[in-house]
Amino acid sequence: MALLENKVAFVSGGGSGIGRAVAEAYAREGAKVVLSDINVEHGEETVKIIKDSGGEAFFVKGDSSTASDNKRMVEVTVSKYGRLDIACNNAGMGGPAKPTGEYEPDAWDRVIALNLSGVFYACRYQLEQMEKNGGGSIVNIASIHGQVAAPNSPAYTASKHGVVGLTKNIAAEYALKNIRCNAVGPGYIETASLKDNLTQNLMDAVEAKAPMNRLGTAQEVADLVVFLSSEKSSFTTGSYIIADGGYTAI
Ligand SMILES: NC(=O)c1ccc[n+]([C@@H]2O[C@H](COP(=O)([O-])OP(=O)(O)OC[C@H]3O[C@@H](n4cnc5c(N)ncnc54)[C@H](O)[C@@H]3O)[C@@H](O)[C@H]2O)c1
C-alpha cells in the first residue's frame, strides 16, 4: 500500500521548486493534495502534472503571509476533502542580500511575515482541524539556516531559526493529541529561486563547500518530507532534519 493512502494533504507554495516536488510526491503516495500558491498559473500547472499522472489534487490561491488566507486554506481543504491529515508549510522567500546594519526594516517585515508568521498562522489553523479529525502530521520547511548563519540574509536566518523553535513547541504541546510536527532543513537545492538569488560564482562556492560537491534536488527534499509526513516516522516529533549533502557537517 502507498504510504499516504486515504490521507488528505496540504502544501503551501506548491507552484514550484520544493513545494511542487512535495505535492507530486504526496500524490504519488496516494494522498489527495490541496496545494496553494500566490501564483495561480504555476499552482494550476502543478495540479495538471499530478492529474496527468493519475493523482488527485486541487489548487487554492492563497497568500501564506496572512492569517486570514491560512484560515481559509484549511477551510477550503476540509470542504473539498472532508479532513486534513498532513501539512507541509513550505512557502518562503529569501529577501534582499544586505548585512544587518543596512537591512531595510520593511524587507525584514516582509521576510518574517511569510517565513515565520506565515508558518505560525498555517500551523495555528491546521492544528485546530487536526485535533478535530483525531491527529495529523505537520512538516515545516526551514533551512540549514535554521541552524547556521546565512551572511547578508539576517531576516532569513532569524525566520528559519524561528520555524525550528516553533516546530519544537508544537511537538511538545500536541504529542498526546496524536499530532506530530517536524522541520526539514534543506541545504542548497537546485530550484528556480536559488538560480534567481545566487550568482554562478556563489552557486559554485556553495556546491564546493558541501562534501557531496553538488546542489540537492527538490525530489531529495520531498522524499524526506514524505517520510516525516507518513507513519514510517511515527516516533519522530520535534525533530529538525537536515538534507544538505553534508554542508553543515564540516
Ligand atoms: N532552494 C533552496 O536552496 C532552499 C534551501 C533551503 C530552504 N528552502 C526553503 O524551501 C521553501 C521553498 O523554496 P523553493 O526554493 O522551492 O522556492 P521557489 O521560489 O521555487 O518556490 C516558492 C513558491 O512559493 C510561492 N510563494 C511565494 N510567496 C508566497 C506567498 N506569500 N504565499 C504563497 N505562496 C508563495 C512562490 O510563488 C513559489 O511557487 C522555502 O521556504 C525556502 O526558504 C529552499
> How large is the average pLDDT for residues 117-128?
99
- pLDDT of 195 reads 83
- The residues with which 183 forms a beta bridge, in sequence order, are 140, 240
Q: Are 22 and 90 in contact (CB under 8 A)?
A: yes
Residue type, 19: G
**Index of the ligand 1 atom closest to the CA of residue 216:** 3
Residue type, 38: I
Residue 233 or 197, more confident: 233
Residue 220 C-alpha to ligand 1 middle, in angstroms? 15
Percent of the chain at pLDDT exceeding 70: 100
Give the mutation target among 10, 63, 90 for probing the ligand 1 site: most ligand atoms within 8 A of CB.
90
- pLDDT of 98 reads 97
Residue type, 15: G
CA distance 118 to 140: 11
> How large is the average pLDDT for residues 166-179?
99
Q: Cβ–Cβ contacts within 10 Å for residue 148, how many? A: 16
The sign of the torsion formed by the CA atoms of 85, 76, 1, 217 equals negative
Residue 117 C-alpha to ligand 1 middle, in angstroms? 15
From 156, 174, 240, 247, the catalytic residue: 156
For ligand 1, which residues put their CB under 6 angstroms from it?
Answer: 12-13, 15-19, 36-39, 42, 63-65, 90-93, 114, 141, 143, 186, 188-189, 191-194
- pLDDT of 231 reads 98
- pLDDT of 51 reads 98
Contacts of 190 (CB under 8 A, 6+ apart): 215, 216, 217, 218
Q: Are 243 and 187 in contact (CB under 8 A)?
A: yes
Instruction: Kindly report the pTM of this predicted structure.
Output: 0.98
Active site annotation includes 121:
no
- pLDDT of 1 reads 82
CA distance 249 to 226: 23
Compute CA 30 distance to the chain's CA centroid, rounded to the nearest angstrom.
Answer: 19
pLDDT, tens digit (0-9, with 9 covering 90-100), for 55-84: 999 999 999 999 999 999 999 999 999 999
- pLDDT of 79 reads 98
Give pairs for 214-217: CB < 8 Å, separation 24+: 214/245, 215/188, 215/189, 215/190, 215/245, 216/186, 216/187, 216/188, 216/189, 216/190, 216/243, 216/244, 216/245, 217/21, 217/189, 217/190
Give pairs for 112-116: CB < 8 Å, separation 24+: 112/155, 112/158, 112/159, 112/162, 113/65, 114/64, 114/65, 115/155, 115/156, 115/159, 115/160, 115/162, 115/163, 116/158, 116/159, 116/162, 116/163, 116/166
